[in-house]
Chain A
Amino acid sequence: MKILELKTEKRTTKGRKAVKKLRDVGQIPAILYGHKQDNVMLCLREDDFTRIMNARARMLYLTFNNKKESALIKEVQYDNLTDRVLHVDFSRIDLNERIKLRVPVELHGESIGVKEGGVLTHVMKDVEVECLPTAIPEKIKVNISELGMGKSIHVKELPVLDGIQYISDAEAVIASIHQVVEEKVVAEEEILAEPEVITKKPKEGEEGEEGAKSAEKT
């Protein structure tokens, strides 16, 4: 994966109101941390970051104050209603150290099970891997054309890639093929039933009966 360069500026302002002003002028607040060095508060242009995200880059060279640091995009916070990026976390990375991160899994081909009438369920959409920052795979392609009915693909069956070690549980299911489960038809009596009220106090008559029963037992 290519390492792209991103121009950033150091910021001194922090807090809700200050970052809101930044966002209003098309900038995104960000932070750089890691490697037991001081945290650096940054801000970057929104369109620059959109370009980075569209290129599906994970590793970046951040430039600020005539400095250049290699960093990994650790977390991106979104406004889920407007889809705008609210904040970005960068983690300092040495290009020679191995890092752990999640990589998406992509399924390829039409499986035998699906042709027989089964349904494919993609359970695990990304796996955790350990690799060098310069060798981060964009995605892991899995061929499922040999997958039959009732069979599943596990993490241990993922293709072996150079310099990449899978960290996720080896027995975890990536995708499986199963038969279509038909919906149960609920009886009309059940449909009309009201929910049970757990705080309902028993009526006096019921209490009396219960009391009489308990008295009989003793």
Chain B
Amino acid sequence: MRLMPKRVKFRKTQRQKIKGNATKCNTVAFGEFGMQSLEPGWITAQQLEAGRVSASQYLPREGKLTIRVFPHKSVTSKPIETRMGKGKGEPEFWVAVVKPGTIVYELSGINEEIARQTFNRIAHKMPVKVRLVQRRKTV
């Protein structure tokens, strides 16, 4: 499964700065445990997929993984040994922009120990520092 939009308005995007903390997608919504980003950064579609695969290899059957982010942003690059100029390069890969506080993955149907070990495996694939967070108690 390749994570990429089906339709876009524009093929190429500007890079943009990542400012502030996450104000949405920052609470555990679907599962009991979440993996929260502690740094701003770009998570590529390949990294998200690698995380999903490593989790699916480790998780027991009853465990369910949810990916909370989607790579909406295209990143372009110029071919090697090309002179500068002649316009922007071609889209190479797709990334999801994460801010500190963004929940990247969620897990349900398993206990805390397995969730911790699963997220530990995923964390090795991530380009940002992450931590485990739990769903908040009902008030």
Contacts and interface: CB of A to CB of B under 8 A. Distances in A.
A165 interface: no
A199 interface: yes
B139 A197 contact: no
Interface residues on B, range: 20 to 34
Contact of A198 (B4, B7, B22, B27): B7
A196 B138 contact: no
A186 B2 contact: yes
Nearest to B100: A81
Given A80-B27, A125-B138, A195-B8, 17 more contacts: A53-B137, A80-B26, A80-B101, A81-B38, A81-B100, A81-B101, A104-B137, A104-B138, A114-B62, A117-B61, A119-B62, A120-B109, A121-B108, A122-B109, A184-B1, A186-B1, A199-B10
Contacts of B2: 186, 190-191
B121 interface: no
Contacts of A92: none
B interface: dominant SS: loop
Interface string A46-74: 00000001001010000000000000011
Contacts of B137: 53, 56, 104
Contacts of B109: 119-122
Interface in A158-206: 180, 183-184, 186, 190-191, 194-199
B11 interface: yes
Nearest to A76: B139
Nearest to A56: B137
A122 B4 CA distance: 29
B7 A195 contact: yes
21 contacts: A53-B137, A58-B139, A74-B139, A75-B139, A76-B139, A80-B36, A81-B21, A81-B36, A81-B38, A81-B101, A119-B62, A119-B64, A119-B109, A120-B62, A121-B108, A122-B109, A183-B1, A191-B2, A195-B7, A197-B7, A199-B9
Contacts, number: 69
Contacts of A78: 136
A119 B61 CA distance: 7
B91 interface: yes
A76 B136 CA distance: 10
Interface residues on A, range: 20 to 34
Contacts of A81: 21, 26, 36, 38, 100-101
Contacts of B6: 195-196
A126 interface: yes
A73 B138 CA distance: 10
A103 B139 contact: no
A11 interface: no
B5 interface: yes
Contacts of A196: 6-8
A154 interface: no
B64 to A, nearest CB: 7
B22 A80 contact: yes
Contacts of A122: 108-109
A102 interface: yes
A167 to B, nearest CB: 14
B14 to A, nearest CB: 16
A122 B10 CA distance: 39
B2 to A, nearest CB: 5
